[in-house]
């Protein structure tokens, strides 16, 4: 893989961007930019497969965009991208290729095609068998037990694609090692109608193994109570790269995947089994086709019209030049309610790093905090801060043109809210404008000018709006792949390894050391806070 020889903050383009930011990039005003350029919307519109993006309400101009594209070139983005698609071991700290794109490539079109399509065909065959037998005489409930990448993707996608799901099947997702997660799920189940999927790339993750053991124990005891044989082999399926561990658990039907599929990039692999059961083989292939179309766009579109690249470059602009620390994602579609949680792992586990590929400390910031809730709910919670708070938070709106329900009036209101929010963030309201309005609940004693200052909106707050025609397996596949490649883009510019996650290891190791102390009470060698809390939690 091409080694990043030049750090992004040592490139000519970075220096030029710094100069541009100080000279006038910092002062760019969206209201003026729109007034001066009637074609701004078209100029900053990008059409990618299934996803249209309005990038015009961002704090940039043509000069910014040109310099950011130059930065991408000087940081070797295209060479790194091509190395990923080719299967070079770009995940250097784990010595692995990064080939989630191969999971959605047509037969013969990417590395490992034979293995990928053999498992995919078998997986989809299994999904169809479960669907065919679904109902009062077969399975009624599917429980996915997994965490992180073995949970967030399928959970988010099953919820997103509910209108396409088999009507006789209910889906449950258990991830937390907190027994409050699995207990209510088990309470509503009948063992003879339940299929458990134990999803874990490593098949060693503490939370998943503990919950899987609880589920098996529950299943066996329930079957015994009913006087029927506990057919674990029929009711438990494993999805893992660790086939021997799954076999040791008592699972006979297992779907494998490979170490070149990162956990947070694994929805397209056998980890997608709950989704495949929910929507069926044909729709799952549509999801893959949507993602593949986005892969081709990322691989082939010129950088200035390449949507994942443009979004990744905006992330760099906001994080490293404006200094914005977070980005809010507001999907105006209830089906996408879990998308922000999914994106938290995708973006923050990938790009929450502070050394470059060579292990050198970085001199610049990396991943923003990513957070959000579906609209319009967020409007009645934290949008106050987005409009009038002291921090600027770029917002990403996701609008879906066609709903999957018949309440057109609700949908029109939803979309009007979505547009109104990005408009309000941009336009703001001056104190003079506020003073000219009649305040709905003005205090008789409060000076009118003081009240107007409370009712002022600074405006000029940036946002991006992504538009899908409808939320389908194909468009969801494209949307998720868009985010994956956007994360790749900013990670490549920052010169980091977006595909390892060493930062989660220390807590796991310390937890394993603490576990026996809960039984023994031994606090020797612990810091005073941990020792004090241990004593309190044990008493
Ligand atoms: O949290 C760390 C992590 O390794 C994630 O990267 C991964 O998605 C998750 O744990 C679950 O891992 P596994 O699929 O091996 O159980």
Distance 56 CA to ligand 1 centre (A): 37
- CB-ligand 1 contact for 147 (6 Å cutoff): yes
- CB-ligand 1 contact for 271 (6 Å cutoff): no
- Burial track 246-278 (b if 16+ CB lie within 10 A, e otherwise): beebebeebbbbbebbbbbbbbbbbbbbbbbbb
Distance 502 CA to ligand 1 centre (A): 11
Pocket mutation for ligand 1, best pick of 154, 208, 501 (most atoms within 8 Å of C-beta): 501
Pocket mutation for ligand 1, best pick of 144, 145, 148 (most atoms within 8 Å of C-beta): 148
- CB-ligand 1 contact for 205 (6 Å cutoff): yes
Q: At what angle do helices 273-300 and 113-132 cross, to 10 degrees?
A: 140
Per residue in 42-79, pLDDT tens?
A: 999 999 999 999 999 999 999 999 999 999 999 999 99
Nearest ligand 1 atom to the CA of 146 is 16
The model carries a pTM of 0.97
Annotation marks residue 508 as catalytic? yes
Catalytic-labelled residue, pool 349, 373, 396, 484:
349
Q: What is the CA angle 157-118-475, rounded to 5? A: 25
Pocket mutation for ligand 1, best pick of 93, 144, 147 (most atoms within 8 Å of C-beta): 147
Provide the pLDDT for residue 3.
53
Per residue in 410-424, pLDDT tens?
A: 999 999 999 999 999
Pairing of strands 45-48, 51-54: antiparallel
Residues 6+ apart with CB under 8 A from 284: 124, 127, 272, 275, 276, 473
- CB-ligand 1 contact for 150 (6 Å cutoff): yes
Nearest ligand 1 atom to the CA of 266 is 8
Closest CA relative to residue 299, chosen from 500, 481, 112: 481
Q: Is the pLDDT of residue 5 over 90?
A: no
Closest CA relative to residue 103, chosen from 433, 408, 477, 422: 477
Residues 6+ apart with CB under 8 A from 460: 29, 30, 31, 59, 426, 428
For the chain, helix, strand, coil in percent to 5 are 55, 10, 30
Closest CA relative to residue 87, chosen from 100, 76, 104: 100
Closest CA relative to residue 462, chosen from 6, 12, 28: 28
Nearest ligand 1 atom to the CA of 147 is 11
Q: What is the C-alpha separation between 339 and 331, in angstroms, rounded? A: 8
Q: What is the DSSP letter of 96?
A: B
- CB-ligand 1 contact for 208 (6 Å cutoff): yes
Q: What is the CA angle 22-28-34, rounded to 5? A: 160
- For residues 5-27, average pLDDT: 94
Distance 149 CA to ligand 1 centre (A): 6
Pocket mutation for ligand 1, best pick of 93, 98, 149 (most atoms within 8 Å of C-beta): 149
- CB-ligand 1 contact for 201 (6 Å cutoff): yes
- CB-ligand 1 contact for 148 (6 Å cutoff): yes
Per residue in 456-475, pLDDT tens?
A: 999 999 999 999 999 999 99
Mean pLDDT of the chain: 96
Supply the residue whose CA is at minimum distance from atom 3 of ligand 1: 148
Provide the pLDDT for residue 15.
98
Provide the pLDDT for residue 504.
97
Catalytic-labelled residue, pool 24, 401, 454, 508:
508
- CB-ligand 1 contact for 264 (6 Å cutoff): yes
Distance 259 CA to ligand 1 centre (A): 12
Q: What is the C-alpha separation between 456 and 429, in angstroms, rounded? A: 5
Supply the residue whose CA is at minimum distance from atom 6 of ligand 1: 263
What's the Cα-to-Cα distance from 125 to each of 107, 121, 280, rounded to whole Å?
Answer: 17, 6, 9
CA dihedral 30, 35, 38, 44 (to 10 degrees): -10
Distance 119 CA to ligand 1 centre (A): 21
Structure tokens at 342: 């999914």
- For residues 472-482, average pLDDT: 98
Annotation marks residue 353 as catalytic? no
Per residue in 126-175, pLDDT tens?
A: 999 999 999 988 999 999 999 999 999 999 999 999 999 999 999 999 99
Per residue in 280-339, pLDDT tens?
A: 999 999 999 999 999 999 999 999 999 999 999 999 999 999 999 999 999 999 999 999
Catalytic-labelled residue, pool 380, 401, 407, 413:
380
Provide the pLDDT for residue 441.
66
Annotation marks residue 10 as catalytic? no
Pairing of strands 141-145, 253-256: unpaired
**Residue 25: pLDDT band with limits 50, 70, 90:** confident
**Residue 445: pLDDT band with limits 50, 70, 90:** confident
Closest CA relative to residue 116, chosen from 246, 288, 238: 288
Closest CA relative to residue 236, chosen from 246, 222, 226, 227: 246
Please report where in the chains the tokens 């102390």 appear, as a residue. Answer: 517
Closest CA relative to residue 203, chosen from 252, 175, 244, 233: 244
Q: What is the C-alpha separation between 82 and 96, in angstroms, rounded? A: 15
Closest CA relative to residue 320, chosen from 504, 64, 90, 78: 64
What's the Cα-to-Cα distance from 212 to each of 138, 180, 359, 396, rounded to whole Å?
Answer: 22, 15, 37, 37
The helix (run of H) or strand (run of E) holding residue 396 is strand 395-402
Q: What is the C-alpha separation between 509 and 244, in angstroms, rounded? A: 23
- CB-ligand 1 contact for 202 (6 Å cutoff): yes
Per residue in 119-132, pLDDT tens?
A: 999 999 999 999 99
- CB-ligand 1 contact for 242 (6 Å cutoff): no
Query: Length of the chain, please?
Result: 539
- CB-ligand 1 contact for 200 (6 Å cutoff): yes
- Cis peptide bond upstream of 376, omega within 30: yes
């Amino acid at each position: 893989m091409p080694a990043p020889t030049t750090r992004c903050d040592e490139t000519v383009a970075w220096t030029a961007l710094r100069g541009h930011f100080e000279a006038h990039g910092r002062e760019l005003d969206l209201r003026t930019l729109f007034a001066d350029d009637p074609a701004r919307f078209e100029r900053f519109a990008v059409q990618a497969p299934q996803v249209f993006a309005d990038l015009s309400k961002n704090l940039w101009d043509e000069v910014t965009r040109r310099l950011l594209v130059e930065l991408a070139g000087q940081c070797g983005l295209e060479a790194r991208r091509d190395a990923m698609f080719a299967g070079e071991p770009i995940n250097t700290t784990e010595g692995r290729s990064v080939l989630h794109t191969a999971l959605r490539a047509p037969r013969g079109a990417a590395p490992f095609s034979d293995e990928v399509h053999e498992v995919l065909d078998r997986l989809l065959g299994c999904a169809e068998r479960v669907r065919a037998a679904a109902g009062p005489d077969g399975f009624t409930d599917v429980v996915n037990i997994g965490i992180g990448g073995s949970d967030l993707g399928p959970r988010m996608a099953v919820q997103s694609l509910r209108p396409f799901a088999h009507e006789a099947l209910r889906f449950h997702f258990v991830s937390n090692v907190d027994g409050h997660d699995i207990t209510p799920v088990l309470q509503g189940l009948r063992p003879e109608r339940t299929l458990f999927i134990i999803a874990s790339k490593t098949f060693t993750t503490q939370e998943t193994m503990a919950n899987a053991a609880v589920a098996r124990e529950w299943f066996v005891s329930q079957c015994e109570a009913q006087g029927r044989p506990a057919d674990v082999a029929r009711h438990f399926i494993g999805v893992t790269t660790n086939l021997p561990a799954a076999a040791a658990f008592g699972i006979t039907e297992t779907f494998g995947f490979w170490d070149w599929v990162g956990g947070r990039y694994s929805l397209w692999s056998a980890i997608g089994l709950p989704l495949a059961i929910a929507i069926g083989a044909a729709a799952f292939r549509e999801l893959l086709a949507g993602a593949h179309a986005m892969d081709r766009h990322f691989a082939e579109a010129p950088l200035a019209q390449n949507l994942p690249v443009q979004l990744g470059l905006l992330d760099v602009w906001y994080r490293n030049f404006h200094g914005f620390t977070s980005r809010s994602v507001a999907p105006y579609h209830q089906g996408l309610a879990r998308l922000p949680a999914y994106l938290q792992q995708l973006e923050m586990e990938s790009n929450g790093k502070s050394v470059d590929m060579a292990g050198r400390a970085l001199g610049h910031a990396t991943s923003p905090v990513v957070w959000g809730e579906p609209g319009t709910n967020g409007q009645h919670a934290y949008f106050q801060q987005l409009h009038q708070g002291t921090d600027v938070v770029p917002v990403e709106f996701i609008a879906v043109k066609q709903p999957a329900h018949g309440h057109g009036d609700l949908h029109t209101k939803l979309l009007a809210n979505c547009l109104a929010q990005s408009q309000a963030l941009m336009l703001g309201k001056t104190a003079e404008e506020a003073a000219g309005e009649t305040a709905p609940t003005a205090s008789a004693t409060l000076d009118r000018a003081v009240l107007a200052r409370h009712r002022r909106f600074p405006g000029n707050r940036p946002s991006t709006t992504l538009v899908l025609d409808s939320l389908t397996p194909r468009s969801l596949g494209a949307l998720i792949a868009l985010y994956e490649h956007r994360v790749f883009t900013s990670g490549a510019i920052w010169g980091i390894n977006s595909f390892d996650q060493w930062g989660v290891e220390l807590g796991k190791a310390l937890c394993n050391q603490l576990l026996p102390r809960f039984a023994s009470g031994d606090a020797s060698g612990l810091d005073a806070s941990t020792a004090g809390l241990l004593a309190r939690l044990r008493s």
